[in-house]
């Protein structure tokens, strides 16, 4: 667990410094970070913030945020989803960003410095430093797949949600079984690939954590040509690189913390 966490932190710290998650080791990262937002959503956004968004989707678009809600963004990075969410919840709402990478928090603080309804917190998604039942919505964008303990991360998301609260994440999922060769690649972990779950496994872990109304909606299936895979993931075998092509998709994953008897939203 510590090895994966350390490697991911190093890679994303470097990405924050260079303003790209790709670089020479991840050329294009199979385009998963591109074209996830409408231009209207980016209107007024700080310059360069989209280039530092290393997500694989647009969870805010699917979260149905309401004015006055409290939102938690797990693995907030440089703050793009926080920026969009802050407008949706308005001045009476609050958006909290959690990240384990100091460089990302520095970038987010700079990008969001003019917003009055945002708060940044350092920490791990498996150990969220917030009180029980303290937020209305949990967002995340291509981060839970990076966790070496996804069940703990989902359990923590459930814990901090108020009854009736929603989880809405964009994440990578495998749409067919893959070998242990891929799962053991640290480079593929930081590239949002090796840590991805099978769709059914994701749903089961959410149900085990306590979520109801769970769904996985597949958004994009990624082609990974072997030439790209060999550059981006040199620790994979040739068969592992071939196997990756077309096995990975981005998805919107949603769930809800059930109401208790007598609860009123």
Q: What is the pLDDT of residues 104-117, one digit of tens each?
A: 999 999 999 999 99
Residue 25: the pLDDT is 45
Q: Is the pLDDT at 126 greater than 50, yes or no? A: yes
Range 2-256 classified under CATH 3.40.50.150: yes
Distances (CA, A) of 102 to 21, 42, 77, 253: 16, 24, 10, 27
Q: Is the pLDDT at 23 greater than 50, yes or no? A: no
Q: Is the pLDDT at 69 greater than 70, yes or no? A: yes
Residue 160: the pLDDT is 99
Q: Is the pLDDT at 10 greater than 80, yes or no? A: no
Average pLDDT, the chain: 85
Percent of the chain with pLDDT over 70: 80
Residue 83: the pLDDT is 97
**Among 36-45, 180-189, 254-263, which stretch is predicted with the lowest mean pLDDT?**
180-189
pLDDT digits (tens, 9 = 90+) for 147-198: 989 999 999 999 999 999 999 999 999 898 887 777 666 555 555 566 889 9
pTM for the structure as a whole: 0.86
Res. 35 pLDDT band, cuts 50 70 90: confident
For the chain, the domains span: 2-256
């Amino acid at each position: 667990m510590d090895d994966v966490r350390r490697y991911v932190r190093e890679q994303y710290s470097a990405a924050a410094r260079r303003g790209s998650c790709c670089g020479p080791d991840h050329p294009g990262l199979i385009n998963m970070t591109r074209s996830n937002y409408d231009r209207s959503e980016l209107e007024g956004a700080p310059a360069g913030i989209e280039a530092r968004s290393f997500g694989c989707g647009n969870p805010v678009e699917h979260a149905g945020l309401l004015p006055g809600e409290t939102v938690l963004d797990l693995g907030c990075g440089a703050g793009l989803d926080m920026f969009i969410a802050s407008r949706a919840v308005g001045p009476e709402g609050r958006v909290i960003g959690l990240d384990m990478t100091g460089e990302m928090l520095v970038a987010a603080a700079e990008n969001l410095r003019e917003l009055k309804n945002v708060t940044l917190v350092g920490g791990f998604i498996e150990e969220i430093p917030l009180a029980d039942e303290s937020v209305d919505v949990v967002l995340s964008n291509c981060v839970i797949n990076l966790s070496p303990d996804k069940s703990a991360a989902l359990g923590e998301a459930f814990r901090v949600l108020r009854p009736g609260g929603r989880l809405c994440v964009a994440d990578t999922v495998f749409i067919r079984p893959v070998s242990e060769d891929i799962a053991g690649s640290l480079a593929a972990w930081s590239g949002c690939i090796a840590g991805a779950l099978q769709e059914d496994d994701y749903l089961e872990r959410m149900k085990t954590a306590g979520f109801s109304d769970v769904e996985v909606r597949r958004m994009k299936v990624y082609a990974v040509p072997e030439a790209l895979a060999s550059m981006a993931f040199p620790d994979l075998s040739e068969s592992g690189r071939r196997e990756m092509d077309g096995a990975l998709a981005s998805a919107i994953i949603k769930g809800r913390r059930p109401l208790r008897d007598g609860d009123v939203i």
